[in-house]
Structure 1
Amino acid sequence: MNRRKRYQVILAAFFLLFSAALSACSSSSSTGSAPPPSETAKDSAEATPSPAETPKETNDEPVTIKILYPWGADAFEQRYRGIEKLLPNVTIELVDSQAQMDPLQELNAQKIVPDIIFANWGLDALYELDMIEPLDDLIQKHQFDLKALDPSLVASIRAMDRTGQGRILGFPIQYSPYGIWYNKEVFDKFGIEYPTERLTWDEVVELAKQMTAERDGVQYRGLEMGPGLASGEVTVPLSQLAVNLTDPDTGEVLIDKEPAVTRYFELMKKIYGIPGIVNEDPEARKDYEFPKKNVGMIVSWIEYLRWGVGDPEVAANMEAAPLPVWGDGEESAPPAGSNLLVINKYSEHKDAAFKVLTAYLSPEHQTELAKIGDAPPLFNNKDVISHFGENVEVFQGKNVAAFYETSPALPPAKISTWDQYVDIGGSMLKFSQSDMDIASFLRQLKEESEIKIKEAKKQKE
């Protein structure tokens, strides 16, 4: 898989999470959405093995734990095999599949029971098939200290429980913080100081204005937030405000009533109002321009330099800065979301599976993952994150600690799964080209979203 394709896969997975879990990121892609079930819930249940009593397992009892993982044997070996060193009695085995409805039903029909499921397509299919084993009892039984995880991350996981009970449905696989990657060459060309301190969004707008101009026959742009300034990362400022776009219980669309949404659109109107900031070429808008070295700043994930740029020579003059904030006391990053590692309700080895999860979250294992550029969910452990990217050439000498400078906000108490049908990210290109006022645009987007939600509700009946 080449770097660009791999990055797009990672984007799809994380965009799904933030669209459904953090309410503000509207970058939910069709790739990441769980398809509607092809059978009724009753039929699905009949295709699922019956839960077994959890056997009593000793610490040294040999056991094989099967992990459903969708990205192939090489990535699996790199990210999971090290757990066997921490748990000598455990053998890890790959189930190469996806946590989506059809693949899960096929595994159930074949009586293949993964003990742990990497739910990178969200929890919809696992809910439908009743395959989630909440971890609360196991956490208490094995005395796992949730304080090892950041409060925002724990709150985000609890908010994903559709029952409203705030159960821990899985453990986090990764936390990829947002920040700025900037190009020193572009700043130098325009005679502007590097953004070493944390900026406000208004300050970012002013910098973007100064660097959006033509120099030596090249059109420079001061800021990029997703391809064409109209997808994916473009919703990061809204996600920082940690609001639901819809009522989590009824699906009512709230974007015309939520002040945070209007505030976000006002910011974007300022950005889109910078002459030349949006590339008029439709083809150019399909991909990132930052690797072409004609963009001053890009708001993206910490991993972007690896998967979006890749070439250490191209990245030589690129550096990191903290994520901008709204200011006036609102100094948070988006709530700390993550895809989850879920224990299968039908596993016969729940205790051993839980030990595998805790080994995955151990500082020892997380440090090794951080070295290869996997952003650790133990981001409140400064020693772990200090090792981020040290075995990856493109990160050498970069101030990656800047990505962890802004602490994440707490999410809404209950995350609305209906938010995925309010495609703010997908609507921003239209907004950037429209002369509609914000209130009118939000009314139109609300009507479009209501139609999608109504259809989704019909499919769930």
Structure 2
Amino acid sequence: MNATKKRAVNGSVAMLAMAAMLGCSTGTATEKSGDPSRQEKEQPGKAVSAAVSTEPVTLTIFNSSMGDELMKSAIVDPIQAKYPFMTINVVKKEKGSYMEDLIAAGSVPDIIMGDSSGDIPVYNDLNVLYDMTPLIKKLGFNLSSIDPAVMDEVRAYTGNARILAIPRGHNTAVIYYNKDIFDKFGVPYPKDGMTWDEAIDLSKKVTRLDGGVQYRGLDFAEHILIPYNQLSLPAIDAKTMKAAVNNDKWSRLFATLKRVYEADGAKPAPADYGGRASTIFLKDKTLAMFASTLMFGALPDAIKNGLNWDVVTLPSFQEATGRTIQMFSPFLGISPTSKYKDQAFMAIAHILSEDVQVSEAKLGRPSVLSTDRVKTEYGTANELLKGKNKDAIIKNKFAVARPSITKYDPAAYNILRSKFKEVVLNDKDINTALMEAEEAINKDLEQKQAAK
């Protein structure tokens, strides 16, 4: 039956079993067993029956940064294939259609897709995120299949029990390494489960000047590992609205990461600090290990250029063993002004269904679900991961949510990053750097709050 005939048959309102509409690929045997409690636990996105309109409806989705092709394949196509009565229009974040522009025009999209969890407090402050708790209850959506750490992080970003957003996937950080450099110097490869001390000690063995070429052992994406740090350290105390950086914990984090650059030849040139590290690893091939989020987009060209690589888990701190970075995830939310909240949530729920999440996981995109099927299928359809230690990408748990999150965090972490750069390149004393960071963050907070 084609979509037009289907709409005619459905009429204006149909009583649909949401188990079918939010459908899942698992649980067939459970359905036959007649045990609804067991069935709900085994089916991500499982829902009770509810009255939902299946009249043709157009939903708009705010796309903050995803490329057009990926947006179509990962979001639009799965929703429209599942629900032919839904038409999805995408509103890209660009000049004239920033969220503030859309608010002013009274045209906030039905579904909000943000870049990362860090955007949640920003959009929350703009009042464009609806608490989805009533929809979750109404439509019987099963949250238990989502990694509990993910939902803890979501709640942490709102400061209460509201669910303003649900991540559709997550990023993670790992160590990429150049096997040829380790082979060249006869040094054993990195391994899963290293501490930072072990990784730094290993890096010293491959930090060498050879044939006029300076090889460095280790570098990291500081724009990720400082804001989303494994020790879950906040930059701002949300209760006092003061900086929370001039303390022993931040000093320990800075001191550990600074050691990455202390061996002879390990300190990068000023022009190579920060963003150039990925280029040095991927193209120059003079960096032995690089701690970063996933780089699948850049790896094909690097492989053609001769990069012989593999991956291991991100090194951990002794007080946070087996932890990667904090949740760093694109999310989906619903606008309070949407006239189609039920349908919008159905669309989101389908993106979070096991079938869609498995499809994403096969391509190497880590899932927010914690089901065995998602884990076993991870990376199986990604040619880049064949023969690689792909389980390292999903092995570590998230770092716990930091205890204090505000909309001013991005600016505060930028200040911290700039001070860490001075520690690395200018040998600035760590205590002095943190004291200066504290002063700069507090000044920034005072100015922004005074301008409100």
TM-score by length of 1: 0.78
Q: 2:430 aligns with which of 418, 423, 438?
A: 438
Query: Counterpart of 2:62?
Result: 68
8 Å contact from structure 1 (residues 59, 89) kept in 2: no
8 Å contact from structure 1 (residues 251, 418) kept in 2: no
Change (3 A) 1:216 1:175: same
8 Å contact from structure 1 (residues 195, 321) kept in 2: yes
Q: 1:293 aligns with which of 285, 294, 317?
A: 285
Identity, % of aligned pairs?
A: 26
Query: Counterpart of 1:323?
Result: 314
Shift of 1:223: 0.4
SS at match of 1:417: coil
Letter in 2 for 1:416: T
Query: Counterpart of 1:376?
Result: 367
Residues 59-208 of structure 1: matches in 2 within 5 Å?
60-70=54-64, 71-80=66-75, 81-97=77-93, 103-120=98-115, 122-123=119-120, 126-161=123-158, 164-208=159-203
Query: Counterpart of 2:262?
Result: 273
Residues 1:352 and 2:343 aligned together: yes
**Bigger radius of gyration, 1 or 2?**
2
What is the CA deviation profile of residues 168-187 of structure 1, one whole-angstrom value per residue up to 9, with x for unaligned ones?
A: 11110321111111111011
SS at match of 1:148: coil
Query: Counterpart of 1:58?
Result: 52
8 Å contact from structure 2 (residues 121, 406) kept in 1: no
Query: Counterpart of 1:421?
Result: 411
Shift of 1:126: 3.0
Mean Cα deviation higher: 123-132 or 395-404: 123-132
TM-score by length of 2: 0.80
**Runs of 4+ with >6 A deviation:** none
Query: Counterpart of 2:234?
Result: 244
Shift of 1:441: 2.0
Change (3 A) 1:331 1:384: closer
What is the CA deviation profile of residues 267-309 of structure 1, one whole-angstrom value per residue up to 9, with x for unaligned ones?
A: 12322221211222526765221012111111011x2143366
Query: Counterpart of 2:246?
Result: 256
Q: Distance in 2 between matches of 1:421 and 1:128?
A: 16
Letter in 1 for 2:343: A
Long gaps (5+) in structure 1: 1-55
Q: Distance in 1 between matches of 2:258 and 2:270?
A: 20
Long gaps (5+) in structure 2: 1-49
Change (3 A) 1:385 1:313: farther
Letter in 2 for 1:434: N
Shift of 1:366: 1.5
Q: Distance in 1 between matches of 2:169 and 2:301?
A: 20
Q: Distance in 1 between matches of 2:270 and 2:404?
A: 40
Mean Cα deviation higher: 86-95 or 101-110: 101-110
Aligned residues: 394
* Higher relative contact order, structure no. (Cα contacts within 8 Å, ≥ 6 residues apart): 1
Shift of 1:133: 0.8
Change (3 A) 1:130 1:435: closer
SS at match of 1:312: helix
8 Å contact from structure 2 (residues 237, 404) kept in 1: no
Query: Counterpart of 2:395?
Result: 405
What is the CA deviation profile of residues 372-416 of structure 1, one whole-angstrom value per residue up to 9, with x for unaligned ones?
A: 4433222x2342244444444433332221021111132134423
8 Å contact from structure 1 (residues 212, 220) kept in 2: yes
Letter in 2 for 1:167: R
SS at match of 2:237: coil
Letter in 2 for 1:154: M
